[in-house]
Amino acid sequence: MTDPLLTILYILVFPGFVFLLIYSLFIEFLDRRVTARMQNRVGPPFFQPCADVVKMLGKEVIDPDGVDRRIFDAAPLIALAAVMTAFLCIPVGGNSIIRFQGDLILVLYLLLIPTIVLFLLGWLSRNVFSAIGGIRAVTQLFIYEVPFFLVMLAPALMAGTWSVSEIAHWQQENAWFLLLQPIGFVVALVCLQAKLERTPFDIPEAETEIVAGPWTELTGRRLALMHLAKYASLVTGSALIAALYLGGPMTPWVILPVWLGWAAGFFLFLVKTLAILLVLSSIKVATGRIRIDQLNAIGWKYIAGAALVQVALVLVMNFWQVGI
């Protein structure tokens, strides 16, 4: 893709920003629908997430007293922009357009930004619920982020590359990391759930305790953008796990012509991300919210422990040349 026009199309339309937004809204619909059906409710109609966003964009924006308006406006935009940029590095059909050694690190750090923005929003809101929520968000970040980074880097260690696309390729030639590193896959899913602040890790926005946490003072377009950023993170996070552990969009054998191969890869991408979403939704439905001190204990004892074991196993396997 050397044609600059194609590059711009890739970034802005497909599979870049426009696709990400549409797919996020679709994933939100599916998430809400699946949750509702499991809870024996009807759930929202197909259009609901889109209608929500449009409605919220048109709503009045309310500034809490004494809040720096410009930062308050910018924060959700920054969160959304970070997630969108991260998505560009992840292979959707074939290789992603932005790929270099180390794009995995870039993606991980960009995915961290929404949480930091949430903390900032909580801190800026000048509201006790938001402030507590923001602090909880950051406390939680310290618990899940270390194991999340570890298990995201474990495939890179084995594949010997720091590029998401190349790791996906490596799996095409060898085996899925789901089979080679099953512990890492489970830890990655749990940490993604925590990262997205979904039950049982919805501690920062525990409705019955602190209203909506950092989201409390968000209104209108700020809420709409932050909401989009959350579901875009869900898409990006599941796409990342799909690429690192489920072989991403790479087809097991070469399909010609190129466009057909690309389409097949895109189909695989959709299937794998939706599968991950189903797992995440099931976790959400099957659990209640745990307390931050309980998460601290569980996170450092078991989740971080499991991640470390996985990395140690990878190093041993690398030494004995297993799987290569």
Partner 1 sequence: MANVIVPIGPHHPALKEPVNFRIVADGERIVRLELDLSYNHRGIEKAAEQRDFIRVLPLLERVCGICSHSHSTVFVKGIEEIMELEIPPRARFIRTIIAELERMHSHLLWLGVAAHEVGFNTLFMWTWRDREAVQDTLEEMSGNRVHYGMNEVGGIRRDLTPSEVNAALARLPHLEERIREYAKMVNDQETLLIRFKGVGKLSRDEALAYGAVGPTARASGVDYDIRRDDPYLAYTEVPWNVVTDTSGDVYGRTRVRIGELQESIRIVRYCLENLPEGPVRVNAPKTAPMGEILSRYEAPRGELAHFIRTNGTDKVERVDIRTPTLANWTSVALCLVNQNLADIPVIVAAIDPCLSCTSRITVVNSKKRTTGIVTFDELRKQSHLRASMQERR
Residues of the shown chain interacting with partner 1 in the complex, contacts defined by CB under 8 A: 38-41, 128, 199-200, 202-203, 206-209, 211, 285-294
Spatial CA neighbour of 134 closest among 253, 214, 44:
214
Q: What is the DSSP string of 125-184?
A: TT-HHHHHHHHHHHHHHHHHHHHHHHHHHHHHHHHT---HHHHHHHHHHS--HHHH-HHH
Nearer to partner 1, 136 or 227 (CB): 136
- Least gap, CB of 214 to partner 1 (angstroms): 15
- Measured from the CB atom, the residue of 223 and 250 that comes closer to partner 1 is 223
Which lies closer to partner 1 via its Cβ, residue 200 or residue 261?
200
Cβ closest to partner 1, residue 183 vs residue 212: 212
Burial class (CB in 10 A: 0-12, 13-18, 19+), 323: middle
Q: At what angle do helices 48-58 and 17-38 cross, to 10 degrees?
A: 120
Nearest to 276 by CA among 243, 252, 302: 243
Nearer of residues 69 and 291 to partner 1, judged by Cβ? 291
Q: CB of residue 83 vs partner 1: minimum separation in angstroms?
A: 25
The amino acid at 181: Q
| Rounded CA separation 6/90 (Å) | 17
CB of 146 to partner 1, least distance (A): 22
Q: How far is the CB of 125 from partner 1 (least distance, A)?
A: 16
Question: What is the token pair recorded at 217?
Answer: 């003072």
Q: How far apart are CA 1 and CA 196, in angstroms?
A: 33
Residue (208 or 321) nearer to partner 1, CB: 208
39 or 321: whose CB is closer to partner 1?
A: 39
> Alpha-carbon distance 165 to 138, whole Å?
30
Q: Least distance in Å: CB of 33 to partner 1?
A: 14
The residue with tokens 């074991």 is 309
Cβ 132 to partner 1, closest distance in Å?
8
* CA angle 50–32–16, rounded 5-degree value: 50
Residue 205 Cβ vs partner 1, minimum distance, rounded to whole Å: 10
